[in-house]
Amino acid sequence: MDEIHDVIRAHKFELVDNAGTVRASLHSTEHGSGLVLCDIAGKPLMNINIEDTGPAIELMNKAGNIRSKISAKDDGGTLGLWDNDGKLRIYINTSETGAGISILNKNGELNTILHSTENGGSIGLCDNDGKPHIHLKDGCIAILNKTGKINAELISTENGGSIVLCDNDGKPRSMLCAKDNGGNLVLKDNDGTPRIGMAGEGITMLNKTGEINARLSSEDNGGSIILCNNDGKPRITMDIGNLGPAIELTNNADKISTLLCTTETGSALVLNDKEEKSRVKIISDAEGGSILLNDKEGKIGLCLDVRKEGSVIAINDKDEKNRLALAVVDGIPSLDMKDKNGKRRALLSEFNGLSIFQLSDKEGERNTFLAVGEGKSELTMRDNENKTRISVSEEQSDINMPQITITDKDGADRIALFESDGTPAFIINDKDSNPRIILSENGNKPRFVIKDNDGNNIVKFPEN
C-alpha cells in the first residue's frame, strides 16, 4: 500500500495526464490560493482563485481570453461577460445599496445601465461614446443630449403623469401633465416664464411679466376668447352663450364700451359711454332693424326703426316722451309733432293723394287743417270748441267754385268769398246765415246790395 501522508506541503500542485500535459494546478497566490483547470492541450479554461476582494471564478476560451468572471465581495458579488476580442460587454454586480447591470459596446463604453437601489430601479441608455442619452428612474424617463443636458422627461407620480421638453441647456420649455381633475400643457420662454397654458377648461397666454394676454376657454354653454392688455385686464371678450355669440370691448376703467351680440330674434350692437351707460343701440330682427340713440341718463333720445311696413324716425325729449316722428308706412310719408304731454300738435302727411298739414291745440283737437291735392285744396281753421271758423277751399269740378268761408261760434256762415263761373262774390251774413251785404259782379259790372232782417234790399247799386 502506498504511503499516506497526513500533510503534504508545497507552493504548487500540478495534475498532468499520461503525456505530461498539465491538466490542472493548485497554487498559492498573493491574496490566497488558486485552482486552474486546463483542456487536453493544457490551455487554461477555468481559474478559481482568491482575490483581495474575495473569491472569483474565471472562464476562458481556447484562445486564453477571459469570457466570464464571477466573484464575491464583502458587500455583494459580480459577474462579467467578455466578447471574443477580450472586451468586457456585460457587467453585473450587487452591493449593500443595490444591484446593477452594465452593458458595454466594443469600445468599452457603456451602452446600457440597469441599476436597483432601496429607493427603486433605474435604466440608463448611452451612445457609442458612453454618454447617457436615456435615463429611467423612479417613474421617470429622461432623454439627454450630447452635453448631458435633459431634453425630455416622462414623469409618473401619484397625482398623474407628465412630459417635460427642455432646450439644449436643459431648461424646461414645455410641460404636459395629466391629473385626476384633467390635464394641462405649459409652454415657457427662454427665461423660464410660462407664456402659454392649456388645461381642461381652456388655453391661457401670458406676457413676460406673467400677466394674462389672452384666454380661450370652453364651458357647458359654449366657448369664449378673452384678450387682455399688458396689465392682464380684459379688453376684448368673445363669448358664446345660451343666446349665441357676443363680443365685448372694455375700456381702461374696466367698463364695457362696445357690445356686439345675438338675441333671440336677431342681433344687436351697443355703444356705451365711459360710465358703461348705453348711448347707441343698433338692433336687427326678422322684421327689420332699429337704431337707438340715448342720452347720458340712458333714456332714448332718437329712434330709427325699419320694418316691412315702413320706416320711422322718432325724436324724444329728456323724459323719453316722443316729440317728433318722421315716418313712411305703407308708402305714406308723415311728420308728427307732439307736446310734452303726448298730444299731437302738428301733422304733415299724405292721404288719398292729398298732402295734409294739421295743427292741433294742447288737448290734441285739430285747429287748423290744410289739404292740397290735384284738383282740390282746402284750409280749415277751428276754435277751441272744435268748431270751424274759417274755411278756404278750391275744388276743380264742373261748378269750379273756389271759396273762403268765415263761420261764427254757432256754426253759421258769416262771411263768404267765392267765385262761380268766373264771377267773384263777397257776402256777409247775419247770425242766421241770411245775406245782409252782397258785393259781386254782374255782366262785368259791379253789384252792391245791403238787406234788412227781412231780406229786403236797403241799398242796391246799380238800381236795375
Residues 214-223: tens digit of each pLDDT: 998 887 777 8
Residue-averaged pLDDT of the chain? 86
The pLDDT score that the predictor gives to residue 400 is 53
Task: Give 419's strand partners.
Answer: 424
Average pLDDT over residues 129-153: 87
CA distance 169 to 167: 5
> Helix, strand or coil for residue 115?
strand
Angle at 330 between CA 328 and CA 334, to 5 degrees: 30
pLDDT band at 236 (very low <50, low <70, confident <90, very high): very high
> For 270-317, how does the pLDDT look when each residue is reduced to its tens digit (9 = 90+)?
999 988 899 999 999 888 899 999 998 889 999 999 988 899 999 999
Strands 44-51, 33-38: pairing is antiparallel
pLDDT band at 360 (very low <50, low <70, confident <90, very high): confident
Closest CA to 439 of 426, 452, 451, 429: 426
The pLDDT score that the predictor gives to residue 282 is 93
- DSSP letters for 345-356: EEEEEEETTEEE
pLDDT value at 372 more than 50: yes
Closest CA to 92 of 108, 105, 76, 111: 76
Question: Hey, what CATH topology would domain 1-96 get?
Answer: Outer Surface Protein A; domain 3 (3.90.930)
The pLDDT score that the predictor gives to residue 297 is 86
> For 406-431, how does the pLDDT look when each residue is reduced to its tens digit (9 = 90+)?
888 888 888 888 777 777 888 888 88
Task: Tell me how far apart the terminal alpha carbons of the chain are, to the nearest angstrom.
Answer: 207
Q: Are 99 and 115 in contact (CB under 8 A)?
A: yes
In percent, the amount of the chain with pLDDT more than 70 equals 97
Residue type, 100: G
DSSP-assigned letter for residue 410: T
CA distance 415 to 135: 119
> For 385-396, how does the pLDDT look when each residue is reduced to its tens digit (9 = 90+)?
778 878 887 754
pLDDT value at 47 more than 90: yes
CA distance 401 to 395: 7
User: Which of the two residues, 71 and 3, has the higher pLDDT score?
Assistant: 71
CA distance 52 to 261: 87
Please name the residue that has the C-alpha cell 259781386.
440
Best-predicted range by mean pLDDT among 24-28, 116-120, 375-379, 394-398? Answer: 24-28
Q: Are 350 and 374 in contact (CB under 8 A)?
A: no
In percent, the amount of the chain with pLDDT more than 90 equals 27
Q: Are 256 and 273 in contact (CB under 8 A)?
A: no
Domain boundary assignment for the chain: 1-96, 294-341
User: Which of the two residues, 379 and 81, has the higher pLDDT score?
Assistant: 81
Query: On the CB side of 95, how many CA atoms lie within 13 Å of its CA?
Result: 9
The pLDDT score that the predictor gives to residue 396 is 47
The pLDDT score that the predictor gives to residue 397 is 47
Burial pattern 220-257, b for ≥16 Cβ within 10 A else e, equals: eeeebbbbbeeeeebbebebbeeeeebebbbeeeeebb
pLDDT value at 337 more than 80: yes
Tell me the C-alpha to C-alpha distance, in Å, between residue 351 and each of 323, 355, 358, 369, 373: 22, 7, 12, 13, 9
pLDDT band at 130 (very low <50, low <70, confident <90, very high): confident
Average pLDDT over residues 401-405: 76
The pLDDT score that the predictor gives to residue 464 is 62
